[in-house]
Amino acid sequence: MMKARLGGLLSVLWAILLSLPLMNGVDRSKFRTCAQSAFCGRGRNAAQLGAFALDPETLKASDSRIQAVLWHTGSQIRFRFELQALMDGTFRVGLREAFPLVPRFEVPNVLLDETPEGVAWTLEEQSPEGFTASTASTGHRVKISHAPFRVAFFAGEKLRVTLNARDLLHFEATREKPVQAGEGQEAAPAQEPGMWEESFGGNTDSKPHGAQAVGLDFTFHGSEDVYGVPEHADKFNLPDTGSTDPIRLYNLDVFEYELDNPMALYAAVPMVMSQTAEITTGAFWLNAAETWVDVSRSGSGVLGSLSNLVTQGEKSVNVHFLSESGVLDAFIFMGPRPHDVSRQYGQLTGNTPLPPAFSLAYHQCRWNYNDQEDVRMVSDKFDEHDIPMDIMWLDIEHTDAKKYFTWDGRKFPNSLEMIQNLTAVGRKLVTIVDPHIKKDNNYWVHKELTDLGLYVKTKEGNDYEGWCWPGASYYPDFLNPAAREYFAQQYVYDKYQGTTKDVFTWNDMNEPSVFNGPEVTMPKDLIHHGNVEHRDLHNMYGHLYVMGTFDGHILRSEGQQRPFILTRSAFAGSQRYAAIWTGDNTAEWGHLAASVPMCLSLSIAGISFCGADVGGFFGNPDGELFVRWYQAASFQPFFRSHAHIDTKRREPWLYNESELKLIRNAIRTRYSYLPLWYTLFYENEMTSIPPMRPVWYDFPTDTDAFTVEDEFMVGTALLVHPVAKSGASHVNVHFPGREQYWYDILTHERIDHEGSMNIPVKMDHIPVYQRGGSIIPKKERIRRSSALMHDDPITLVVAVDKDNTANGTLYIDDGISYDYRAAKKSLYMQFVFDGQRLSGHQLHTPGYQTGSWLERVVFVGMEKEPKSAKLMSPTGKEEVLGTQYEARKNLLTVRKPGVNMAEDWEIVFQY
Ligand SMILES: *[C@@H]1O[C@H](CO)[C@@H](O)[C@H](O)[C@H]1NC(C)=O
Ligand SMILES: *[C@@H]1O[C@H](CO)[C@@H](O)[C@H](O)[C@H]1NC(C)=O
Ligand SMILES: *[C@@H]1O[C@H](CO)[C@@H](O)[C@H](O)[C@H]1NC(C)=O
């Protein structure tokens, strides 16, 4: 009795203790500010260091390349400038030292092997002040002024983007280290603090090559709205940084990150998109070193020096990229619409390949599921509570002492049987594989990587030892293709024992996280393959790591099966290999809200398969927050619940009956929309257009939508407004576009409203609307896992617009293999409703067989009841279909057309 009470008391105390240290927030002193970073301070004020000028004598224009010598009017140092015109409204600008003392790093493994071809320049006017050149095939013109040096891009007659309008072009050439101060052979800047050595938090960066920063500013004319440069827990519409630190891109493991903050996080994509009602443009700064990004709008009074290009009073936003090293290599995208910029960027860095179908379903994770009994219990409980679930996840504790590619044999003695039990109900398993390698001579991975010399080295040439989960650890040098290859080979089944084709991979801690390193990562003066400093490639370490994992998945299935990989760290192009989540968030309402801008930023920067830990990683969500999080995340691309090891268990059935029911509903709703998600991801691979997108993306002239951050679209069809406040009775929904109808997906109530509107909310769902004019494919027989639903019948929801029309698509394939590419084994249907007839028409070459058939068509917003509905198949067969009309709701249900989804068909109404 006594004992039980004491136990209860202790567990309460324990719960309080656990929740205390979790609420302290980020330790800012661990992470540098711009002022604590020498190159940031210098580059931010580059305009004061003197201007650049183009030497017209050296101008060469041949084919797609304009080349010239640029010189810095202060230091007189000369550089090679190149401007290349590419297909599809893309330009590439480069600036390189003519003769660097040490080779400067050029980013590999980010651009696709085949990037758009060049298009020819025509040199037009030339004068002592500058020249113009145009590309006939893309209709763009550039105007280059010699001194001060500027490059202005025009679409037609309109000035759209200017480079160096603020004279922030900056290039610190390599130089000899002054032997001693006062010898007189070096200009003053060489002796500035931080140019040859810099200390922070007890670490000294030796900078053997001295300062090597590069920077450039991009002005987007007519614009005030610019997005991108993920990953930050900050606004989607990038805030002005005039009175704050610049936005920082430096992949870091930030413990308990804070919201509304430009501090660096786990991923870095140096790409921005500028949005105006007239045009969408963009820029991509291809540099993997630490980068700071300043954003300033013309209203903030910093664009004075633009006088020769900008008419007074014109709106503009300037984005200044500044990197610690590397070369200046950047791209400008001329749009003109959001999906054009996505495509232009996708042609350079690739699209998200169609993921395996299960990965779009619901994932159940925690640090940790303790053992195989725990896994079995959790999996069984999902069935018991009638909640679908596709993937169980195992965090670091499943390994033998944090040695990846191994199992803790006591907790998981029968991993194969455990996996088989999961796959028997269509489920999969994900195991974690981190890049830090335990220092343990009995661990084959450590021994072999040591023998092969594949670890990152110190500047003295020894293997670099850091501290991470396993204790003393080493870090493979993934810049070296041999290290990626070595890792790839570890995934084959006879190496990674106890796994099967149904086991997928989670790459965490790949910023890389080094507990005892400067800013919890690697020192910048470590040495990679080819004598490259870590400084040069830091932001792409995680990217290079997931490349190896991806190769491993391809290798183990001999190229048959699509990989599924989740990564925490990412760089431009990582979308080709992995999904991403927003890292270690917290069980707070603000973090739920932040999942929207964070994933939107990643989406428009190409990384479209994004999600946030449902419930929040740190802390314990109460029932209301947990339910709201499920409701929001069920409409976000990557849908996974995850929690810190010190949090209370939070599987859905541990909440009360009404909360459990709401969580069940949210997850089941996700499953009903899986055909839509899969279709959107197929289209994402084909077109670069992200499935989760900002509301302005498809309504680019709706200027009020440019600042909407608390809702998003799923495709062009669903408008989703998460509820991210406790006790909310109303939310303010922005309905984008003009003359649009929106239908509540549950009540089918029509909203015929433009702009923002107060919508009452209850606990049972969040506001989600289907756009009038869209057709959504759904599956309404929810089973234990998506695999079990593969051949299930389809319901189409036809929501009509003002003209009583609608259209949509449906993509189907085997869900797992690459046959859809090689053998074109897939089905891509287009549905068009013209008010009289709904047709289903196959867009791919026929041949793919499916068991799936058309079970029901629901017409939403039908103001008139048709007399009859007739099904016509291409063979000429006609059949009268059963219908049901609810006049009060304008809802018409057509029952059992029964056609196979691979067939062409029509349903014709008689009035
Ligand atoms: C697999 O499922 C069977 C039947 O439920 C069970 O007896 C067995 O313990 C499970 N094995 C593992 C490793 O979970
Ligand atoms: C579940 O908990 C919430 C508050 O957290 C409460 O409002 C609700 O009534 C509870 N439901 C049941 C069935 O206990
Ligand atoms: C589909 O509908 C949109 C408007 O909702 C329209 O712009 C588009 O042309 C339509 N496509 C087809 C194939 O009918």
**Position 512 in a domain:** no
Residue 179: its pLDDT value, please?
74
Structure tokens given for 312 = 């007074």
For residues 7, 12, 16, 17, the Cα torsion angle rounded to the nearest 10 degrees is 0
Atom 14, ligand 2: residue with shortest CA distance: 656
**Are residues 100 and 143 both part of a single domain?**
yes
Contact 581, 306 (CB under 8 A): no
Contact 374, 708 (CB under 8 A): no
In SS3 terms, 224-292 reads as CEEEECCCCECCCECCCCCCCCCEEECCCCCCCCCCCECCCCCCCCCEEEEECCCCEEEEEECCCCCEE
Separation of alpha carbons 186 and 176, rounded Å? 9
Burial class of 258 by CB neighbour count within 10 A (0 to 12, 13 to 18, 19+): middle
User: Tens digit of pLDDT for each residue in 384-440?
Assistant: 999 999 999 999 999 999 999 999 999 999 999 999 999 999 999 999 999 999 999
**Position 190 in a domain:** no
Q: Which atom of ligand 2 is found nearest the CA of 656?
A: 1
In SS3 terms, 628-687 reads as HHHHHHCCCCCEEECCCCCCCCCCHHHCCHHHHHHHHHHHHHHHHCHHHHHHHHHHHHHH
855: Cα separation from own chain's centroid: 35
Burial class of 894 by CB neighbour count within 10 A (0 to 12, 13 to 18, 19+): buried
Domain boundary among the residues 299, 317, 349 is at 349
Distance 883 CA to ligand 3 centre (A): 26
Asked if the model's pLDDT at residue 309 lies above 80, the reply is no
**Position 533 in a domain:** no
**Position 216 in a domain:** yes
Q: Which of 136-150, 639-653, 873-887 has the highest mean pLDDT?
A: 639-653
Instruction: Annotate 2-46 with DSSP letters as a single string.
Output: HHHHHHHHHHHHHHHHHHTGGGS---GGGS--GGGSHHHHHHHTG
List residues near ligand 3 (CB under 6 A).
Answer: 773, 807, 832
Give the number of whichever ligand sits closest to the CA of residue 625. Answer: 2
Helix extents (H) in 462-562: 481-490, 534-537, 541-556
Separation of alpha carbons 195 and 188, rounded Å? 11
**Are residues 281 and 299 both part of a single domain?**
yes
Contact 734, 711 (CB under 8 A): yes
- DSSP conformational letter for 462: S
Residue 3: its pLDDT value, please?
41
**Position 250 in a domain:** no
Distance 690 CA to ligand 1 centre (A): 40
Asked if the model's pLDDT at residue 677 lies above 60, the reply is yes
**Are residues 386 and 409 both part of a single domain?**
yes
Q: Which atom of ligand 1 is found nearest the CA of 415?
A: 13
Q: How many CB atoms lie within 10 A of CB 192?
A: 12
- Beta-strand pair 437-438/316-323: unpaired
**Are residues 310 and 409 both part of a single domain?**
no
Weakest mean pLDDT among 655-659, 784-788, 844-848: 844-848
583: Cα separation from own chain's centroid: 12
List residues near ligand 2 (CB under 6 A).
Answer: 623-624, 656-659
Instruction: Report in angstroms the alpha-carbon separations of 208 from 35, 330, 532.
Output: 22, 26, 12
Structure tokens given for 271 = 């790409």
Could you tell me which residues come within 8 angstroms of residue 220 by beta carbon, excluding any fewer than 6 positions away? 160, 161, 226, 274, 276, 281, 316, 317, 318, 319
**Are residues 280 and 425 both part of a single domain?**
no
pLDDT tier at 883, thresholds 50, 70, 90? very high
Weakest mean pLDDT among 113-122, 278-287, 535-544, 557-566: 113-122
Atom 9, ligand 3: residue with shortest CA distance: 807
User: Tens digit of pLDDT for each residue in 820-869?
Assistant: 998 789 999 999 999 999 999 999 998 999 999 999 999 999 999 999 99
Give the number of whichever ligand sits closest to the CA of residue 806. Answer: 3
Structure tokens given for 44 = 């931010």
Phi then psi for residue 831, to 5 deg, are: -115, 130
Ligand 1, from 392, 408, 417, 429: best to mutate by most atoms within 8 Å of Cβ? 417
Give the number of whichever ligand sits closest to the CA of residue 737. Answer: 3
Task: Confirm or reject: Cβ of 786 under 6 Å from ligand 1.
Answer: no
**Are residues 417 and 338 both part of a single domain?**
no
Ligand 1, from 373, 376, 500: best to mutate by most atoms within 8 Å of Cβ? 376
**Are residues 411 and 551 both part of a single domain?**
yes
Weakest mean pLDDT among 23-32, 520-529, 683-692, 819-828: 23-32
Structure tokens given for 283 = 């820029």
Q: How many CB atoms lie within 10 A of CB 28?
A: 12
H or E stretch covering 565: strand 565-567
Which residue, 829, 837, 806, 810, is CA-closest to 906? 837
- Beta-strand pair 774-778/768-771: unpaired
Query: Active site includes 395?
Result: no
Which residue, 571, 691, 700, is CA-closest to 281? 700
**Are residues 365 and 502 both part of a single domain?**
yes
Q: How many CB atoms lie within 10 A of CB 748?
A: 18
* Rounded average pLDDT over 76-93: 97
Separation of alpha carbons 611 and 348, rounded Å? 24
Helix extents (H) in 748-802: none
- From start to end of 309-413, where are the E strands? 316-323, 328-333, 362-364, 391-394
Task: Confirm or reject: Cβ of 372 under 6 Å from ligand 1.
Answer: yes
Tell me the CB-side half-sphere exposure of residue 188, using CA atoms within 13 A. Answer: 2
**Are residues 363 and 336 both part of a single domain?**
no
H or E stretch covering 445: helix 444-452
Q: Which of 167, 205, 294, 508 is catalytic?
A: 508
Separation of alpha carbons 648 and 257, rounded Å? 21
User: Tens digit of pLDDT for each residue in 699-716?
Assistant: 999 999 999 999 999 999
User: Tens digit of pLDDT for each residue in 596-636?
Assistant: 999 999 999 999 999 999 999 999 999 999 999 999 999 99
Q: Which atom of ligand 2 is found nearest the CA of 624?
A: 5
**Position 839 in a domain:** yes
Distance 421 CA to ligand 1 centre (A): 6
Domain boundary among the residues 693, 709, 738 is at 693
Mean pLDDT across the chain: 94
Atom 4, ligand 3: residue with shortest CA distance: 773
Structure tokens given for 764 = 């049972």
Residue 397: its pLDDT value, please?
98
Residue whose entry in the numeric block shows the structure tokens 């020894």:
462
pLDDT tier at 180, thresholds 50, 70, 90? low
Atom 4, ligand 1: residue with shortest CA distance: 421
H or E stretch covering 430: strand 428-432
Bigger pLDDT: 11 or 794? Answer: 794
Query: Which CATH number goes with the domain that contains 612?
Result: 3.20.20.80
Long-range Cβ contact pairs of 574-577 (< 8 A, separation 24 or more) = 574/267, 574/542, 574/543, 574/546, 574/607, 575/349, 575/350, 575/351, 575/352, 575/606, 575/607, 575/608, 575/609, 576/349, 576/350, 576/351, 576/352, 576/353, 576/550, 577/543, 577/546, 577/547, 577/549, 577/550
Q: Which atom of ligand 3 is found nearest the CA of 830?
A: 13
Which residue, 216, 217, 161, 137, is CA-closest to 334? 161
Ligand 2, from 657, 659, 662, 764: best to mutate by most atoms within 8 Å of Cβ? 659
Domain boundary among the residues 349, 372, 399 is at 349
Q: How many helical (H) and strand (E) elements, i.e. helices and strands, does the chain have? A: 14, 51
pLDDT tier at 6, thresholds 50, 70, 90? very low
Instruction: Report in angstroms the alpha-carbon separations of 873 from 78, 835, 849, 898, 900.
Output: 71, 19, 17, 11, 10
Residue 62: its pLDDT value, please?
85
Task: Confirm or reject: Cβ of 376 under 6 Å from ligand 1.
Answer: yes
**Are residues 136 and 273 both part of a single domain?**
yes
Distance 417 CA to ligand 1 centre (A): 7
Separation of alpha carbons 697 and 115, rounded Å? 25
Separation of alpha carbons 323 and 40, rounded Å? 8
Separation of alpha carbons 71 and 217, rounded Å? 17
pLDDT tier at 21, thresholds 50, 70, 90? very low
What b-and-e string marks burial along 628-657, b requiring 16 or more CB atoms within 10 Å of the CB? bbbbbbbbbbbbbbbbbeebeebbbbebee
**Position 246 in a domain:** no
Separation of alpha carbons 132 and 140, rounded Å? 11
Tally of domains in the chain: 3
Give the number of whichever ligand sits closest to the CA of residue 627. Answer: 2
**Are residues 689 and 579 both part of a single domain?**
yes
Distance 34 CA to ligand 3 centre (A): 48
Contact 303, 53 (CB under 8 A): no
Q: Which of 584, 710, 792, 813 is catalytic?
A: 584
Instruction: Provide, rounded to the nearest whole percent, the portion of the chain with pLDDT above 70.
Output: 94
**Position 392 in a domain:** yes
- DSSP conformational letter for 177: P
Q: Is the dihedral of CA 596, 601, 604, 608 positive or negative?
A: negative
Boundaries of domain holding 895? 790-910
Asked if the model's pLDDT at residue 22 lies above 50, the reply is no
Query: Which CATH number goes with the domain that contains 882?
Result: 2.60.40.1180
Query: Which CATH number goes with the domain that contains 146?
Result: 2.60.40.1760
Separation of alpha carbons 4 and 717, rounded Å? 55
Contact 472, 465 (CB under 8 A): yes
Contact 244, 256 (CB under 8 A): no
- Beta-strand pair 837-842/878-886: unpaired
Give the number of whichever ligand sits closest to the CA of residue 657. Answer: 2
Query: Active site includes 646?
Result: no
- DSSP conformational letter for 296: E
**Are residues 303 and 376 both part of a single domain?**
no
In SS3 terms, 47-107 reads as HHHCCEEEEEEEEEEECCEEEEEEEECCCCCEEEEEEEEECCCEEEEEEEECCCCCCCCCC
